[in-house]
Amino acid sequence: MCKWLQSWLIYDLSNLISNGDAGGVWSFAGTIISGQINPSTYGVGTHQFDYTVFGIPPCANSTTSSDLSVDPSPEVNTFTTNIPVVAQGFPIDLEVDMLVGIPPFTISLVDDDTPPNNYTIQINAPSMMGTTISTPNVIPFTNYSITNLIDGNGCQGSSV
């Protein structure tokens, strides 16, 4: 499951356990924490969280551990064309090179033609690069932009 590293996203740790006792508490590195966390607090990587249910004597406390993997949001490194200038009506390749993320990637593009043309670049693992073909129609320049970017974990990214 994807946990985006964005300050507004809250993740419910109860998603890590099945049929958990509602009376338990979450802890990280021995410190009790809320079950609603911001993954950016912990950063990219795999983090172990413990869930403890306190027993009523003679029953002992019961603790289980769960790992949460926080994946980086996909990010574009470069978005270019194979030919910087081309005559109207001749095809070009739109090329995307990914900086971060887990393939496969689905990248949605649009141009500024009227009506706009939509394009999709599909990048399959293990590659971090992909292309699609476009035929520019706007004179003197056709502008292209990324409208959506999703990686193999379902993480939505940016074209920073």
Render pLDDT for 10-47 as a digit per residue (tens, 0 to 9). Answer: 889 988 888 766 788 999 999 999 999 988 889 889 99
Confidence band, pLDDT 50/70/90 cuts, at residue 126: very high
Two structure tokens written together for 119: 């394009």
**Average predicted confidence (pLDDT) for the chain:** 87
- List the chain domain ranges: 11-70, 75-150
Residue 154 above 80 pLDDT? yes
115-121 long-range contacts, CB within 8 A, separation 24+: 118/147, 119/94, 119/144, 121/94, 121/96
pLDDT (tens digit per residue) in 44-73: 899 999 999 988 889 999 999 999 988 888
Q: Is the pLDDT of residue 112 over 60?
A: yes
Classify domain 75-150 at the CATH topology level. Answer: Immunoglobulin-like (2.60.40)
Q: How many angstroms separate the CA atoms of 79 and 31, rounded?
A: 44
Note the pLDDT of residue 9.
74
Structural tokens at position 44: 């990219």
Torsion of CA 28, 39, 103, 131, to 10 degrees: -160
Name which of 116, 124, 123 is nearest 145 in CA terms.
116
